[in-house]
Structure 1
Amino acid sequence: MVEIKPFGAWPSPITAESLSSGSPAYDTCVDNDAIYWCSTVATEQGRGQIYKQTISDSSTPPQALLPEGYDCLTRVHEYGRGSFKVSNGLVVFSNNKDCRIYTIINDEIKPLTPADTLYRYADFAIDAENRFLVCVREEHFVNEEPKDVVNVLVSVDLKSGKETVIAQGKDFYSSPRISPANNALTYVCWSHPNMPWDFTELYLAKIEFENRQLILSDLVCVAGDKIDESISQPNFGIDGTLYFASDRSLFWNLYSFDGKTVNLLLEEPVEQDFVGPAWRFNDSDYTPLKSDASKLIVINKNSLAILDTKTKTMTNINCEYDHFAYIRAFLDKEGNEYVIADMSSPTEPSQICSYDIKNQTIVHIHRKSMATRLEPDFLSVGKEVIFPTTNGKSAYCYYYAPKNPHFKGNGLPPLRVLSHGGPTAATDNSYSRAIQYWTTRGFAVADVNYGGSTGYGREYRNRLHLSWGIVDVDDCCNAAIYLADQGLVDPNKVAIEGGSAGGFTTLASLAFRKVFKAGCCRYGISDITLLAKETHKFESRYPDRLIGEYPKDKAVYEERSPLFKADKIECPVIFFQGSDDKVVPPSQAEVMVNALKEKNVPVAYVLYQGEAHGFKRAENIKRTMELEQWFYGQIFGFPVEGVEGVEIYNFP
């Protein structure tokens, strides 16, 4: 029997504890008949663990390679990834405990690089003979400014650990890849004020390894030097062909380089992005096949597809999943080829699967979802909504209706609007246990891809140029207004939540608009002048394109900063912050909390010791979700049982 209970207070099968049990896998790597991946272990203070499993025998449980004391994580660019690589049984990884490179051979862990340096390493490529590796090295200094940090590309002798700088002079490097077919090395680089989705360059060189040292020759700029384009995810085919993604057509399409010219892989550019923004290292949204030099596996919207470079055609293949990440190819001893990837769908949580290309079927699940699967009667599937926004334009969001077969509420449900981080990033409707946490409790959710989000081409992405704090705010507000006008949600119980850059959009929406009745800010930016002055090198010039040049445009920064308009915020806000956050320091939250206290606005503040940018510890993930729900219960007037609250200043 269905019980009537206030929206937001429905008992749910999803516990807050379970939200930390399904940490996503990343940096998936295939080596011989083994698959490796990394995942953070929330119950071990969020350390990174490397797992290994035999591909042909998925019945054997994955093997964890790192004992306590090791943390496979890199903080190059602060966002990291590309934290390990495997070649012919040799594992190379970055240890976050001391930032050194370590190797694992026959289960023996040894340091490769010296101790007591201020270097960080990421994005490894290893030659076929395991003689050397190439990676990004980031040098830090005591009491440094962002401009002091030095990024270069280095080779490291895998026998002695000796490092040699092989590319320098640009502000940033990424994606070193080695081709054993023709002894070639490729990499991407860019300089301030560009971000990797603005304008980058792609280089290609011949390589030789003499006297234990890597030597580059015939260096050529393949793309990015003559036209403005963002180049991403270079990769070599089995015959040495260089593939890469470029948005020279205003969408990230796929191209090849034949040694003389750049060639589009399809007959004509298509209006879709085949890759995403390069926030982190080692993304792989497509891969060349190992059995056929003329074919690649790509993501064609919500389907895997085979792209034939000879016929310049793309053919979808049947797969029960429709969201894919870290795509790799594997060829077994019988010549059968498989796609190995992190796969999910709106109803299926993320799993690492082997897909048989010939028979078009999933043959192995190597890493099952760590969280308990939700019964279909509880599942709310995100539906893409195109809604009208400012200046006669349209924007996008995924709308999730509240769903729980045991309960219904009176009237209309509260709405929780999500503002994703980045801001140059995107959301999709792949299964999110965190979203289902809210919908099963009686909340509606709108996950917004505001102007500036990726996946819709460069023009949509560029809507944020000099307009951050305007376009994103308008779109989040207009999403809530549209859903309320459609009679789907209660306009008097609308909250907005966001982390990092999404936290800025959250605070700006509360300060400059009167749409939302509550807000939740996780490690968000309140004073963008501090962002321009305090943040790390990777993003230190990011605001140039989003806001303007600082300090020349200081007035614009202050005009857009929620801190300077704290007196305009009238609704309650809760803040969550990590004490060790270098991307958005705690001062960003604390100046805002103090300002709201002084203005008599209801505000709560939760500081987690030892957490950095994004919460990794199980107890903090649990606490954040429970407290956010409890906070809304206090504000919107529904009961939330079993949660120890915190002080809400200026709230009776």
Structure 2
Amino acid sequence: MTLPAHPEFARIRPNSTQEADLAAASLPADGLSDLRVTTAGIFWLATDSDSGHRRLWRWHDEHCHAISHAGHDIGSRVNGYGGGAHALLGDRIITVDAATQALWSHPVEGGTPAFWWSRSQTRYGGLLADDRRQRLIVVEETDSHRDASQRLVALTHHRREILAEGADFYGAPALSPDGRTLAWVEWSLPDMPWQRSWLRIATLSSDGHIERRLSWDGGAAVTQPRFSDEGELIVISDHHGWWQPYRWLGDNLQPLGDVAADHVPTPWTLGDCHHVWHQHGGIVMHFEQGRTRLSQVDTRGRRLKTLLPDVTRIIGLGLHGPWLYALTQGMTHSARLERWHLTEQRHQILQASPATHSPTLPETLSICINDRETVNAFLYTPTKTTSACPPPLIVRIHGGPTAACYPVFDPLIHYWIQHGYAVADLNPRGSGNFGRDYRERLAGGWGQLDVEDANALAEALIESGRVDPRRLFIRGQSAGGFTVLNTLASGTRYCAGASLYGVTDALRLAGQTHRFESGYLDWLLGEDSVKFQRSPVNRLDAFQAPALFFQGTQDRVVVPDQTLRMASSLRQAGHQAEVVLFAGEGHGIRHPANRRRMIARELAFFDRHGNR
């Protein structure tokens, strides 16, 4: 059966094979996001293949259509990472304009949007509809930059009411079906939301004012409070070492299930939903060796059956009647929207990226670092080679460093494999999805433990004869770029490395980065003396391999000064350093034309320095 291609992907028609390969590689593997399941249809955001903008789409009456036009980019910039950029309110859907952060109202059937709300120097995210009172409950962030402040507010198109303020950050608002109870998460500096956060539960009056407020503090972190159809509050907490679901009992939490595994990813963005509940139980996911397992559970959290067994990553979940809706990725497919009938066990793919088939499935690796610790990676190897030698290797480091990589079909990895490279996607110590202990091993050790892990992975693959020891490369984005550059300065065998908007000067970044992560570097590195010692810009004499840098000029998380100073310092010290700047790009290279340019330049860089 031919899968229905998402309209955003179906338009790609390059003229040559090379252009086609680059166009396919430039597609984001996770190009669908922000799933919302409502009585008026299923809504989500899809990345436009021409502009890189995120457009709003709707599935209704067995077909889908775009709500927003191609020139309108939707996205929140709260905390720098956004999330929760749209919500259905009555017969209109409210969206956040990515450029201005103003709120716009769209007819659900499509048509001309109307301005709804904005404030000067203010961003919005985590949109939640309060239908009974015809208002939105949102996270509001007021600039400027490091002096930003947040609060939880209620908005109509003409009125604003503050519901909660005083904490540094707010997230994950959830409303009970009867509209009488509001739950949310809050935290304050220097913590990140996965380190220490609080659950707040408030009783609302008929006109929406907070009458009574309760709190729960487990000494760890909470995320994604969700109400069942029956009004029960379920929240995810990791106070026992794993992100696990718990039922709120009025003054404490009751565990649901006993699987010792993370049940949600690290909460970097607003609006995430990875568990849903109804009167007979719920749908939950958990991680097993870095891949997602989706299960139907009873009211006590006991697993009844496995759902969507081919899925290896859940981007978002939603429930409407007997249908479970999910944005997913798998080993052989990029992001797609699918649904599962919970009683009849019927499955339907609603929209998908172009039909994909990877020539190689990822192999899960566990690499021993020492007698007590192992790290996880996924290895992709080319099926056809023109040489009797083992293939060259690209080790890829994700950002965060508390994010994670997944065993999913990634067009970029597929592109590298087509060009004869093996790819190892690494989850070094400090990554999410492996429990609090694994995540917190990186405390004070960033730039050291992650480098050990990258080197150990390469050495293990060399010793097993699976890769060419003369052609080793490493690349990473954001925090992963920090790992790349420190690895190149660690005397390893890597021939070259690519840093995508990576951290180069941790001490300087502490005074440059945005407020959300302004306390994070102290946890990752500790004292200023350590920040100085671990910063690649201060280790120039140890560099032994060329470096390639990609950087957006509008990046507020890792500012361009980080890349420009590092590259200049390397050149002055006699090392090879190349820089590619992308005008108008932020923390991430999103525009398809820029992504194609980046991918082609990176491959040429690796080919050249591998003497191929």
TM-score normalized by the length of structure 2: 0.93
Aligned to 2:194: 197
2:538 to 539, 564, 579: 564
Aligned to 2:281: 295
Native 8 Å contact 1:12 1:437 kept in 2: no
Aligned to 1:125: 128
Q: Deviation digits for residues 386-434 of structure 1, max 9, x if unmatched?
A: 1111464211111111224xx4322111110011100001111011111
CA distance in structure 2 between the partners assigned to 1:234 and 1:34 by the alignment? 23
User: Displacement, 1:320?
Assistant: 4.5
| Structure 1 residues 551-630: aligned runs within 5 Å | 553-630=527-604
Amino acid of the structure 1 residue aligned with 2:450: D
Aligned to 1:349: 334
Aligned to 2:478: 500
Aligned to 1:236: 227
Q: Deviation digits for residues 459-495 of structure 1, max 9, x if unmatched?
A: 1111100111111111011001111111111112111
Aligned to 1:151: 150
Matched, 1:467 2:464: no
User: Displacement, 1:47?
Assistant: 2.0
CA distance in structure 1 between the partners assigned to 2:328 and 2:373 by the alignment? 33
Native 8 Å contact 2:43 2:59 kept in 1: yes
User: Displacement, 1:298?
Assistant: 0.8
Native 8 Å contact 2:502 2:558 kept in 1: yes
Native 8 Å contact 1:397 1:446 kept in 2: yes
- Give the direction of change, closer, same or farther, for the CA distance of 1:622–1:483 in structure 2 (3 Å limit): same
Native 8 Å contact 2:26 2:412 kept in 1: no
Matched, 1:326 2:316: yes
- Give the direction of change, closer, same or farther, for the CA distance of 1:318–1:31 in structure 2 (3 Å limit): closer
Amino acid of the structure 1 residue aligned with 2:105: T
Native 8 Å contact 2:333 2:355 kept in 1: no
Aligned to 1:278: 267
Aligned to 2:102: 100
Native 8 Å contact 2:123 2:140 kept in 1: yes
**What secondary structure is seen at the aligned counterpart in 1 of 2:285?**
strand
Aligned to 2:210: 216
| Structure 1 residues 136-147: aligned runs within 5 Å | 136-141=139-144, 144=145, 146=146
Amino acid of the structure 1 residue aligned with 2:85: S
**What secondary structure is seen at the aligned counterpart in 2 of 1:18?**
helix
2:294 to 294, 299, 304: 304
Matched, 1:532 2:510: yes
Aligned to 1:646: none
Aligned to 2:8: none
Aligned to 2:204: 207
**Structure 1 gap ranges (5+):** 1-10, 332-336, 639-652
In the TM superposition, structure 1's runs of 4+ consecutive aligned residues that sit over 4 Å from their partners are 11-14
CA distance in structure 2 between the partners assigned to 1:321 and 1:522 by the alignment? 31
Native 8 Å contact 2:264 2:286 kept in 1: no
**What secondary structure is seen at the aligned counterpart in 1 of 2:457?**
helix
1:247 to 210, 222, 238: 238
TM-score normalized by the length of structure 1: 0.87
Amino acid of the structure 1 residue aligned with 2:72: Y
Native 8 Å contact 2:332 2:409 kept in 1: yes
| Structure 1 residues 1-80: aligned runs within 5 Å | 15-21=21-27, 24-44=31-51, 46-54=52-60, 56-57=61-62, 60=63, 62-67=64-69, 69-80=71-82
Q: After the TM superposition, which of the residue ranges 242-251 and 297-306 deviates more from structure 2? A: 297-306
Larger Rg: 1
CA distance in structure 2 between the partners assigned to 1:320 and 1:252 by the alignment? 21
**What secondary structure is seen at the aligned counterpart in 1 of 2:441?**
helix
Native 8 Å contact 2:359 2:382 kept in 1: no
CA distance in structure 1 between the partners assigned to 2:175 and 2:373 by the alignment? 44
User: Displacement, 1:136?
Assistant: 0.2
**What secondary structure is seen at the aligned counterpart in 1 of 2:209?**
strand
User: Displacement, 1:318?
Assistant: 4.4
User: Displacement, 1:366?
Assistant: 2.3
User: Displacement, 1:512?
Assistant: 2.4
Native 8 Å contact 1:303 1:316 kept in 2: no
User: Displacement, 1:359?
Assistant: 2.4
Q: Which has the higher contact order (CA 8 A, sep 6+)?
A: 1
**What secondary structure is seen at the aligned counterpart in 1 of 2:466?**
coil
User: Displacement, 1:349?
Assistant: 2.4
- Give the direction of change, closer, same or farther, for the CA distance of 1:20–1:439 in structure 2 (3 Å limit): closer
- Give the direction of change, closer, same or farther, for the CA distance of 1:256–1:74 in structure 2 (3 Å limit): same
User: Displacement, 1:356?
Assistant: 1.2
User: Displacement, 1:304?
Assistant: 2.1
User: Displacement, 1:496?
Assistant: 0.5
CA distance in structure 2 between the partners assigned to 1:208 and 1:47 by the alignment? 39
Amino acid of the structure 2 residue aligned with 1:403: T
Amino acid of the structure 1 residue aligned with 2:50: T
- Give the direction of change, closer, same or farther, for the CA distance of 1:76–1:614 in structure 2 (3 Å limit): same
**What secondary structure is seen at the aligned counterpart in 1 of 2:489?**
helix
**Structure 2 gap ranges (5+):** 1-16
User: Displacement, 1:33?
Assistant: 4.7
**What secondary structure is seen at the aligned counterpart in 2 of 1:185?**
strand
- Superposed CA RMSD: 1.8
Amino acid of the structure 2 residue aligned with 1:125: L
CA distance in structure 1 between the partners assigned to 2:181 and 2:407 by the alignment? 39
Native 8 Å contact 2:293 2:309 kept in 1: no
Native 8 Å contact 1:127 1:180 kept in 2: no
CA distance in structure 1 between the partners assigned to 2:495 and 2:580 by the alignment? 20
Amino acid of the structure 2 residue aligned with 1:41: D
CA distance in structure 2 between the partners assigned to 1:372 and 1:81 by the alignment? 28
- Give the direction of change, closer, same or farther, for the CA distance of 1:629–1:102 in structure 2 (3 Å limit): same
User: Displacement, 1:274?
Assistant: 0.5
Amino acid of the structure 1 residue aligned with 2:33: Y
User: Displacement, 1:321?
Assistant: 2.3
Amino acid of the structure 1 residue aligned with 2:445: S
User: Displacement, 1:278?
Assistant: 0.6
Matched, 1:457 2:435: yes
**What secondary structure is seen at the aligned counterpart in 1 of 2:50?**
helix
CA distance in structure 2 between the partners assigned to 1:42 and 1:590 by the alignment? 29
- Give the direction of change, closer, same or farther, for the CA distance of 1:568–1:498 in structure 2 (3 Å limit): same
Q: How many residues get paired? A: 588
- Give the direction of change, closer, same or farther, for the CA distance of 1:272–1:13 in structure 2 (3 Å limit): farther
- Give the direction of change, closer, same or farther, for the CA distance of 1:413–1:426 in structure 2 (3 Å limit): same
1:373 to 347, 351, 356: 356
Q: Deviation digits for residues 508-560 of structure 1, max 9, x if unmatched?
A: 11112323111001100110112211000101111111011xxxx22111100
CA distance in structure 1 between the partners assigned to 2:494 and 2:583 by the alignment? 30
Native 8 Å contact 1:418 1:447 kept in 2: yes
CA distance in structure 2 between the partners assigned to 1:19 and 1:624 by the alignment? 11
Identity %: 28
1:490 to 444, 454, 468: 468
